[in-house]
Amino acid sequence: MILKNKTILVTGGTGSFGKVFVRRVLKGELGIPKKLIVLSRDEAKQNDMRLSYMKKTVATDEVIYKNFMNVLEFQIGDVRNYSDICAAVKKADIVVNAAALKQVPACEYFASQAVLTNCIGPANIVRAITENDYPVKTVVGVSTDKACKPINVMGMTKALQERIFTSANVRNPKTRFICVRYGNVLASRGSVIPLFHEQIKNGGPVTITVKEMTRFLLSLNQAVDTVFAALKYGKRGETYIPMAPAALVTDIAKALIGDRKIKTKITGIRPGEKISEILVSEEEIHHCIKRGDYYVITPMLPELIQKNIKLGSILKKEYSSGDNILDYKGTLALLKKHSLMISEKRLQEDGEFLK
């Protein structure tokens, strides 16, 4: 039970991934932790999350002032700020870095901001551990398919995060730095499904960039499963990648629209977008292995190369969302499986499904 009696820090812990990660950690799937610290900038989201765990609707002195006495602890702070990171990391056995700027168009317009969060943030975590000799056992960096052969700022900065954490293993032999990389998380904040839901609620049209666009699809629980697998089995410098289904965005839209008389509109590809995403590049297949239900990219740095591992025999080409695409029935079944279909009643509840 790798999390039993451990102190876990999750940066960006009030986001879509963070909320599910926190819930499952507190359930004790990998052992009951001693402390679970959520670090984020948004005090309103922290307060809402705190109240939900206290089963309260109104804040009281009791809720606020017992913060540091509870297993679930909230800290206001920013990964961009080195002192904030030091204050949180020094207590942790395990760090999961989920803080990110992840909207592709926003990162294109505000590239320097993406660098600060997605690159300087991870570098601050490494620096804090290195300079202060904090006894952190494991750091997990949450990455994205857009980091593989990146063409946009978000992907470029996430690719740098992967390299920052991988190389940190060389200078920090006491700490294991690993990464996870996955595609579109179904119904996460800012993803395509909440956008389609909102457009359907308002009568359409549902906007699609290009008809050929495909995306890997993963539920929030599967994203957390990937982090859990990396925590349990990952070795220093490795990147864990789930074997995920892929679908046409047009089929996702069709499934959500159902029999409603709502039109779709082709808007053209946005700045920094790919038609298909890649999770393992042609270059990476030469040092990729299979472990359970995951592809694992092993590190290229000579100091981190593992002996007695057979490389280059798992994938014959890049792992792309344009390969092995679900048909419409498969896409519909996947959305139903993860309870992402919307009923007429829910459409009338003024956005209830967006919560």
Say what percent of the chain tops pLDDT 90: 72
Residue 351 confidence (pLDDT): 40
Catalytic residue from among 146, 158, 201, 274: 146
Mean pLDDT of 281-302: 94
Pairing of strands 94-97, 138-144: parallel
What are the pLDDT digits (tens) for 216-229? 999 999 999 999 99
What are the pLDDT digits (tens) for 11-61? 999 999 999 999 999 999 999 999 999 999 989 899 888 888 877 544 444
Q: Mention the CATH class of domain 7-354.
A: alpha beta
Torsion, Cα of 122, 124, 130, 133 (10° steps) = -110
Please report which confidence band the pLDDT of residue 80 belongs to, taking 50, 70 and 90 as the band edges.
very high
**Cα gap 80→84, rounded to integer Å:** 8
Residue in the structure block whose two tokens are 């819930």: 23
- E-strand stretches of 4-93: 7-11, 35-40, 72-76
**Cα gap 129→180, rounded to integer Å:** 20
**Cα gap 92→7, rounded to integer Å:** 5
**Cα gap 32→135, rounded to integer Å:** 20
Residue 338 confidence (pLDDT): 80
Please report which confidence band the pLDDT of residue 83 belongs to, taking 50, 70 and 90 as the band edges.
very high
Domain residue extents for the chain: 7-354
Average pLDDT, the chain: 89
**Cα gap 24→55, rounded to integer Å:** 17
Our answer to whether residue 146 is catalytic in this structure is: yes
DSSP string, 154-219: HHHHHHHHHHHHHHHHHH-TTSEEEEEEE-EETT-TTSHHHHHHHHHHTT-PEEES-TT-EEEEE-
Q: Is 190 left (phi over 0), alpha (psi -120 to 50) or beta?
A: left
Mean pLDDT of 291-299: 95
What are the pLDDT digits (tens) for 91-100? 899 999 999 9
Please report which confidence band the pLDDT of residue 350 belongs to, taking 50, 70 and 90 as the band edges.
very low
Please report which confidence band the pLDDT of residue 157 belongs to, taking 50, 70 and 90 as the band edges.
very high
